[in-house]
Amino acid sequence: MLLNPLNSHPYELLLRKPHGIISIQNIGGWGPHPELRRPTANTGLSRRIPGAIIRPIMSTHASLKVNGQTHVVDVDPNCPLLYVLRDNLALNNPRFGCGLGQCGACTVIVDNRAVRSCLLPVSRAIGKEIVTLEGLGTPGSPHPVQAAFIEEQTFQCGYCLNGWVMSAKAFLDKNPNPSDADVRKAFESLVCRCGSHARIFSAVHRAAADMKRSA
Ligand code: FES
Ligand code: FES
């Protein structure tokens, strides 16, 4: 299902007035405007109107297993996983690029598959093992894929980084001995606007060699 953020209106805004609380429904969808997205850290507080609360009109308790930890969040079941990860769980490595499944910046691994989280309704992630870049390695002990991308000094602005690293991890887990053609084919739908592709492909081959050596 392709979600169109501009046509979705899943939130209401609750304002406290002297005569009581008023509700303004359908304030907007899941677009990047901060007032139209889930408020930070599941507090429900509006980012722009002091004391006002934003909440999903239709909500469910979703139990999500992310990076080995279970989180219960109160969200619209159709909300893209990307927004839940970023806005409810403060996991900000998955990035919003296009919101349409076309760039890969939002990639996470769900049950060992690289998935574009901007297109996956959170309800379809319940009960699955979700891994984000935060769960891959640490600065002191990076995953071999992360270490290879650092060694190759791969990125320029780094906006696309999350998508390439997560996709490379899922790809190499399935295909530890890729040819150059395999790598180019596997990553043809990922976008790097800075044109770092040559160094990205070198990093993937370096990671494959390092992982083979340490296996
Ligand atoms: S933001 Fe998900 S593919 Fe571009
Ligand atoms: S390094 Fe800038 S978009 Fe890839």
- With 60 as the cut, is the pLDDT of residue 30 above it? no
Q: Is residue 76 part of a domain?
A: no
- Total of domains in the chain: 2
Q: Tell me whether residue 34 is in a domain.
A: yes
56, 74, 94: which is the final residue of a domain? Answer: 56
Instruction: Tell me how far apart the alpha carbons of residues 85 and 201 are, in angstroms, rounded to a whole number.
Output: 28
Q: Residue 182 falls within a domain, yes or no?
A: yes
Range of the domain at 209: 144-214
Query: Of the segments 12-26, 30-44, 46-60, 75-89, which one has the largest average pLDDT value?
Result: 75-89
Is the CB–ligand 1 distance for residue 97 below 6 Å?
yes
The arithmetic mean of pLDDT across residues 16-20, rounded, is 81
Q: To test ligand 2's pocket by mutation, which of 96, 102, 159 has the most ligand atoms within 8 angstroms of CB? A: 159
Model-wide pTM > 0.85:
no
Instruction: Please indicate, yes or no, if residue 9 is contained in any of the structural domains.
Output: yes
What's the full length of the chain, in residues?
215
Mean pLDDT rounded to a whole number for the chain:
86
Position 44 scores a pLDDT of 66
Sheet holding 129-131, edge to edge: 69-75, 60-66, 129-131, 107-110, 113-116
| CATH value at residue 165 | 1.10.150.120
- Is residue 162 included in any domain, yes or no? yes
Question: Could you tell me if 84 and 30 are in contact, meaning their C-beta atoms sit under 8 angstroms apart?
Answer: no
pLDDT over threshold 50, residue 154: yes
| Domain-located, residue 190 | yes
- For residue 61, being part of any structural domain is answered with no
In a domain, 15, yes or no: yes
What backbone phi and psi angles, to 5 degrees, belong to 149?
Answer: -65, -35
Count the alpha carbons within 13 Å of 97 in the hemisphere toward its beta carbon. Answer: 24
Mean pLDDT, range 199-205, rounded to an integer: 98
Mean pLDDT of 114-130: 96
User: Whose alpha carbon is nearest atom 4 of ligand 2?
Assistant: 192
